[in-house]
Structure 1
Amino acid sequence: MASAPLRVATNNGEVEGFVRRGMRRFRGIPYAEPPVGPLRLRAPRPAQPWDGVRRCKRFGAAPYQPKIFTPQKQRSEDCLTLNVVAPEQLPDGPLPVMFYIYGGGYFLGSSSSPPYEGSILARRGCVYVSANYRVGAFGAFDLSSLSDDKHVIESNLYLRDLVLALQWVRDNIAAFGGDPENVTIFGESAGGSGVETLMATPAAAGLFHKAIIQSTASGLAADADSVAHDARRFAEILGATSDNAAATVLNASPRQLLRAQRKLIAEGGFPFGPSVDGNYLPKKPVESIEGGEAHRVPLIIGSNADEAKLFTKAIKVMPLSEAEQLEILGRGGPGYQERITAAYAGYPSTQARLRLAGDMFFTSSVWRIAQAHQHFAPVYVYQFDYAPWPVRAAGLEGSHATELLAVFGNYRGPAGPILAGSFTHRDASRVVDDVQRRWVAFAHNGVPSEDWPPYRGPDWPVLVFDRELRVEQNLGGDRRAVWDGFRLSIPSRIPRAS
């Protein structure tokens, strides 16, 4: 006898999902109207109700982006959908919700990426949600300064997308077995920056109750003048004049926008990420956190041992040359160039520049946020060191994004023996368990584990994920001291190494 269809009633209408391997799965649920036509480069509008039952068994299209990881046929500007995974057998009470925000430098990424499927986390006792948000020139590049009397472009569109997706969770997740009063947002890289930014976004108040920030880069938050400079140059690349900039951007084809975006990056610009517009995002997120103005929720935050190594192997967008680094350090104020470079033995050797770059963009943000937020809410800091021999052989030991293999259990998936190595697969499985148990426990009650002490002085304990789990006191304290007071600001134009 065939089982009854898996259907859930949402505020917009019924959706039909499917069950696989003991998990309920719903894919491609629209949370917003398609951001096309008159809604292009505008704040997202809630999805309109539909009649009948909507089949939600396939992922929605990925946000329009370069074809680096996403085939062309799977990209679309009509991309504002989300996905839900929950256990088939639900307990009597609601489960905590874990809402994941993908990374990709704010110009790449999709919730349909296979590593982010999320069922392994849901199996541990949560409802897992992932949502698309607009990336690059379609939503994560603030072009609002180009607006004129006839054409309106709004700011921080990707951030507004995420807020609307969280509002959908608040209004609908109970029907899927989730608790709208117990939502944890978590993300990595640009996704970690997204979590950081949501903590400082007034419109996100009450939409989440805990946060996990993995390898954020606080320096991506740009001021209005810097973003306006890049917006004008972007319009010029498209052939616009000062009189028709907004119309030119709004009427450009997706491919034209990508070509202009690629040229802007080639010129040294990287304008993607949060924009301090004074309204939707009043301040740089880290400044709101330091001032106690951010949402005071329990926080897990951390980075990886050698963050910058990925950027020598894959997408080469990080400033790694001596000239690039000295330019950025010089923007911090007098003395920072000498003080910081002196802390990295052998600078400007390649290894010293890599270590400095990882601290500049990621680890210093962790230190700054953790030390500020611990005054207002519990904070737990980690460092991810683990790298099985195949990862080390690829030159990526402890690099950016390697913790995702543990968070999403990829070491235990079909490719596990390849990723972890046959001789170290058992170690990798243990690290997966160490990370996932703590992430899900934190989502349940705000305490990841009894053996992970909160981050506070004078010891500043850090949990290190490696073959053997350990707590280290004042980890990286000497390096942390030289970065104290430095305020990372990425210039609109960075001198590119030849």
Structure 2
Amino acid sequence: MAEQPSVAGHDQSVVAAPAGALQGRIAGDIRSFKGIPFAKPPVGVRRWKPPEKLAPWSGIRDAGEFGNSCVQLEANPSASSIYADDPAPAGEDCLTLNIWGDVAARDAPVFVWIHGGALVSGGSRFGMYDGESLARKGVVYVSINYRLGPLGYLAHPELSAESERGISGNYGLLDQIAALRWIKANIAAFGGDPERVTIAGESAGALSVLYLLASPEARGLFQRAISQSGYLISSPELNRTAHGHPSAEAAGLWLQNKLGAQDIGELRALDAQTLTDEAIAAGYLTWGTIDGTVLPRQTVETFDRGEQARVPLLAGFNSGEIRSLRRLLPPPPDSEQEYTDAIAGSYGDLADAFLELYPASDIDESMLAATRDAMYGWTAEKMVESQAELGEPSYLYLFDHGYPAADTAGLRAFHASEIPYVLGNVDHVTTAWPAIPATPAEREFAATLLEYWAAFAKDGNPNAAGVPEWPAYGDARSMMVFDDGTLVRRGGIGAAFDLQDRLVCRRLLAGDLPWHWNVGIASPENPGPTGRCK
């Protein structure tokens, strides 16, 4: 059993970790520590550098307040988006994490939450990511910040030249890895087991989980993974054009020109907020970079080759993903015939299969479903299938839960709507979030999902006493469906998975086509079957 050091007699709000002593806050049996730095501030010359280890501090550091969120577009409190939340205060000095756990925790499983936000927004301070509910389930919960937007993911030839490894970009991902290293070294002081770490995230947080599974840099830093609405999209490569993306370094030079800077030194001298706002306004897209080192190859290739981390996985998606992300859809065609003709022209030998799944008789619903299945459904099953092939326990889910406010708004099971349930925070959603009813049935449903997530963090298996059995994916391609309760479905997402898997295989092999939300009437021409791709 790990011993928990103390530096203040019987004061359970104080913990002496290898990084330094911390004064937290206690509410009942749960104590929290917020705003803990896990790396040196990435400011000045450390902008666009890998995170640097922070020396242990002396004395007792107060850990009662969240640290800065990382720099992002300034929040508009009146924004109509259901996701709008206030990240303030924000700044470049933002590499902090937060911990919740029972005061009596010893060798407890650790759950690390990576926030979403398209790699350009969000933060660990949001109420929906509070860790108290999971802590009450015997889990030590950690939420982390990481650099966002151009500050977190810019690649540039000068930055590659500065690097001992000849690479650049992926600084936000390296921040996540640095946080995991800090957790491995320090979490025992908070009652956590450094050999039972689960990484989890939704949307861009789930994309980060995919990257961490694929990155050799993160090996051994976690023992299980949860991906909620992840997306195995193509990513730019460091210094060559591939898969429909300019090289990441070329994108960095393009941004330098857009911002009127002469070199990386001038870019480093720009105000962080101004740089972020102007970069995003100019159309800079934030991606991970395939650099051959941190991310060795396209993530789907890593999974196809079985080179990802060998850990148990829980992954899934929501039935209404695109209902709150309609910006991912192209303008609809004017007629059923135009829709059918577009699909026939782009999908070729796969057109009939596509139209059977996504018919012209209801173009709007078909467009919503096609993009959902291509991005999120296929990704979830692809990941689970790949882990199962490695012999790892793997669990697939579909979240199809609706309630009056969401259903009335046409947002049944929208993107991210599972988060308040699985983290036990149905009372901590954003202001514009469709109100979750405080009914006994709704609370029971939320308690069931929280139980599954907590159980998976404990031993890599979501099954626990008092909840319906969730079978592993296995040969039956079993999937748990969460609607108003639970239902096991066999066969995964079926033909939708098979269609997208064939299409991605062909695009990957062709070498000059991306795979993301360019599906349906926005699809480029299908390369056709060739080689190993049917």
TM-score class normalised by the smaller sequence: 0.7 to 0.9
CA drift of 1:122 comes to 0.9
Within 2, Cα distance between the matches of 1:355 and 1:222? 26
User: What is the aligned counterpart of 1:238 among 259, 270, 281?
Assistant: 259
CA drift of 1:341 comes to 4.8
Q: In structure 2, do the counterparts of structure 1 residues 434 and 220 end up closer, same or farther at CA, with 3 Å as the change threshold? A: farther
Give 1:405's aligned residue: 420
8 Å Cα contact 2:111-2:139 kept in structure 1: yes
Within 2, Cα distance between the matches of 1:492 and 1:186? 22
Within 2, Cα distance between the matches of 1:10 and 1:134? 25
Q: In structure 2, do the counterparts of structure 1 residues 148 and 335 end up closer, same or farther at CA, with 3 Å as the change threshold? A: same
Give 1:155's aligned residue: 169
8 Å Cα contact 2:114-2:202 kept in structure 1: yes
CA drift of 1:350 comes to 1.8
Map Cα deviations across residues 174-227 of structure 1 (whole Å, 9 max, x no partner): 000000011111110000111111011111111100111100011153323332
- 1:453 matches 2:471: yes
Q: In structure 2, do the counterparts of structure 1 residues 150 and 204 end up closer, same or farther at CA, with 3 Å as the change threshold? A: closer
Output the amino acid matched with 1:483: Q
- 1:108 matches 2:121: yes
SS, match of residue 86 in structure 1: strand
User: What is the aligned counterpart of 2:132 among 112, 119, 131?
Assistant: 119
Give 2:63's aligned residue: 56
Output the amino acid matched with 1:287: E
Q: Give the 5 Å matches for 1:192-231.
A: 192-219=206-233, 221-224=235-238, 225=241, 226=246, 227-231=248-252
8 Å Cα contact 1:85-1:129 kept in structure 2: yes
8 Å Cα contact 1:461-1:475 kept in structure 2: yes
Work out the percentage of aligned pairs sharing the same amino acid.
30
Give 2:19's aligned residue: 12
Output the amino acid matched with 1:372: S
Q: Give the 5 Å matches for 1:384-463.
A: 384-411=399-426, 419-421=435-437, 425-449=439-463, 451-457=469-475, 459-463=476-480
- TM-score of the pair, normalised by structure 1: 0.88
Give 1:311's aligned residue: 325
Q: Give the 5 Å matches for 1:281-320.
A: 281-312=295-326, 316=327, 318-320=328-330
User: What is the aligned counterpart of 1:145 among 123, 147, 157?
Assistant: 157
Within 2, Cα distance between the matches of 1:256 and 1:462? 45
SS, match of residue 433 in structure 1: helix
Within 2, Cα distance between the matches of 1:409 and 1:237? 44
Q: How many residues align?
A: 477
CA drift of 1:340 comes to 3.0
Q: In structure 2, do the counterparts of structure 1 residues 469 and 491 end up closer, same or farther at CA, with 3 Å as the change threshold? A: closer
SS, match of residue 186 in structure 1: strand
- 1:255 matches 2:276: no
- 1:86 matches 2:101: yes
Within 2, Cα distance between the matches of 1:367 and 1:492? 16
- TM-score of the pair, normalised by structure 2: 0.82
State the superposition RMSD in angstroms. 3.1
Q: In structure 2, do the counterparts of structure 1 residues 427 and 64 end up closer, same or farther at CA, with 3 Å as the change threshold? A: same
8 Å Cα contact 1:341-1:347 kept in structure 2: no
SS, match of residue 357 in structure 2: coil
CA drift of 1:456 comes to 2.0
8 Å Cα contact 2:134-2:141 kept in structure 1: yes
Unaligned residue ranges in structure 1 (runs of 5+): none
